[in-house]
Amino acid sequence: MRHAIEGLNLKALRAFVLVCETKSMGEAARVLGVTTSAISQLIGALEQDQGVPLFDRRFRPARLNAAGATLFEQAESLLTHAQAVSRSVRAALDDEGLPLRIGAPGSVCSALGPDLVTALGQGFHDITFHTGESTDLADRVHGRAIDLAICASPPPESRHLRADRLFSEIFVMAVPRARANGQPFRDLCSVVERFPLLRYGSRVELGAQIERYTAHIGLMAPRRYEFDLSEPLLTMVANGAGCAITTPLCLWQARQCLDELSLIHLPRSRYGLREFVLVSRQDEADQARRACLALPVNDMLSGLASRLRERLPHFPEQPFG
């Protein structure tokens, strides 16, 4: 029997842990951004290195055997230590600080990205931003593909992840300024009677959040056009095709349209907030986590609100919390 723990492939070990946690090679492949075949090859290479099978393949899906269970019990501490060693080695010869991989939705990168890079650049170098949906970003933190993620909703409860609250933003309704003509509306139903409600796609996290909110306040409107991104959605509104429920960060993401939009305030509701959290792995990247939590986010948001208020009539007084 070969014993090769000294040559343990950390990439293969990470794949093994994800397969054990998700109970699916396909899901592990999605988190790591590789093919299922690549995961299968990594597991095979890990078994070859250790000289023993790690799964009982008489079952479907395959189950951990005794050797696999032993490796799984110790794998987390091995990966955590390897991550810490890697970060220390990379920082040892660099006087400018540690590298940092951080993920965030596109709206956060667009509105706050420059401020975040400037503030974090004082303690970190080689900062890379990754954009995506919050669920995917949390999975990437889980799989150690990135160090931290700013997510628009807390991840599912996990012993490996922690979520620290950052801020929230309200929902607002955007209408075409040229067609609104400053006329008051009786209620939201009269708005969607005049302007068809354009939506974020239901597959998009923000779209699902807005759907819950509109159902809660009783705003019913036919489904017509749906968009996955803020820019095309709000461009359609600016061109008079309808109205849309969006957020301040998304408005800034489509800021080329601001001069053609007006806003309508929406009823406050516990479903009417988009909550942002900082997601990190338990007991990992603590320095980066503390640095992010210490950032003057309220000042950044206040500056953004001022820029939006200069260009948008009726912009809310307290858009962030």
- pLDDT beyond 50 at 5: no
160 and 281 inside one domain: yes
Domain termination residue (choose one: 43, 75, 90) = 90
The pLDDT tens digits for 294-317 are: 999 999 999 999 999 999 988 999
Does the pLDDT of residue 189 top 90, yes or no? Answer: no
100: β partners: 127
> What is the tens place of the pLDDT at every residue in 112-147?
998 998 888 888 878 888 999 999 999 999 888 899
Quickly count: other Cβ atoms within 10 Å of residue 286's Cβ. Answer: 12
Are 279 and 163 contained in the same domain?
A: yes
pLDDT at 94: 52
Q: Is residue 154 a contact partner of residue 256, using CB atoms and an 8 Å limit?
A: no
Whether 4 is in a domain gets the answer no
140-165 pLDDT tens trace: 998 888 999 999 988 888 778 999 99
Quick check: is 248 in a domain?
yes
- Asked whether residue 149 falls in the same domain as residue 287, the answer is yes
Best CA proximity match to 152, nearest among 227, 204, 218, 113:
204
Mean pLDDT of 224-235: 94
Answer for the pair 234, 257: CB distance below 8 angstroms, yes or no.
yes
Tokens 């023993």 -> residue: 52
Whether residue 132 is found in the same domain as residue 250: no
pLDDT band at 51 (very low <50, low <70, confident <90, very high): confident
**Gap between the Cα atoms of 42 and 235, Å rounded:** 46
Instruction: For helices 106-120 and 297-311, give the axis angle rounded to 10 degrees.
Output: 130
| Residue where the block lists tokens 């293969």 | 12
Residue 7 has pLDDT above 80, yes or no: no
Q: What's the rounded Cα separation, in Å, for the pair 69 and 265?
A: 55
Residues paired with 99 in a beta bridge: 125
> How far apart, in whole angstroms, are the C-alpha atoms of residue 80 and residue 283?
8
pLDDT on residue 236: 96
Q: What is the CATH number of the domain that holds 119?
A: 3.40.190.10
CA dihedral 251, 256, 261, 267 (to 10 degrees): 0
* Token pair recorded at residue 200: 């974020």
What mean pLDDT, rounded, does the chain reach?
87
Structure-token pair, residue 97: 């600080």
What is residue 157's DSSP assignment?
P
In a domain, 296, yes or no: yes
User: In 171-238, which ranges are E strands?
Assistant: 172-176, 197-200, 226-227
Q: Given a cut of 80, is residue 167 above it in pLDDT?
A: yes
pLDDT at 319 over 70: yes
What span, in angstroms and rounded, lies between the C-alpha atoms of 47 and 143? 20
If pLDDT is split at 50, 70 and 90, which confidence band does 88 have? low
pLDDT of residue 247: 97
Average pLDDT of the residues in 206-218: 93
pLDDT at 183: 59
Whether residue 146 is found in the same domain as residue 279? yes
* CB contact at 8 A, 192 and 201: no
Rg (CA), the chain: 24
- The structural domain count of the chain equals 3
Domain, as residue range, for 255:
170-272
Same domain (yes/no): 199, 233: yes
Q: What is the pTM of this model?
A: 0.72
In a domain, 146, yes or no: yes
* CATH number (domain holding residue 50): 1.10.10.10
Which residues 6+ apart lie within 8 Å of 106 measured at CB? 131, 229, 230, 253
pLDDT given for residue 82 in this prediction: 73
Q: What is the pLDDT of residue 63?
A: 84
Q: Report angle CA 75, 78, 80 to the nearest 5 degrees.
A: 110
CB of 162 closer than 8 Å to CB of 279: yes
User: What integer is the mean pLDDT of 73-101?
Assistant: 68
> Token pair of 248, please?
């301040």
- Pinpoint the alpha helices (H) of 8-61: 10-22, 25-32, 36-50
Same domain, 151 and 232: no
| Spatial contact of 314 and 162, defined as CB atoms under 8 Å apart | no
Give the whole-number percent of the chain exceeding pLDDT 90. Answer: 48
CA distance 141 to 195: 41
Instruction: Return the percentage of the chain with pLDDT > 70, whole number.
Output: 91
pLDDT band at 97 (very low <50, low <70, confident <90, very high): low
Q: Are strands 172-176 and 243-246 parallel, antiparallel or unpaired?
A: antiparallel
Query: Cα 234 to chain center, whole Å?
Result: 21
Alpha-carbon distance 9 to 252, whole Å? 44
Choose the weakest-confidence range: 84-98, 246-260, 275-289. 84-98
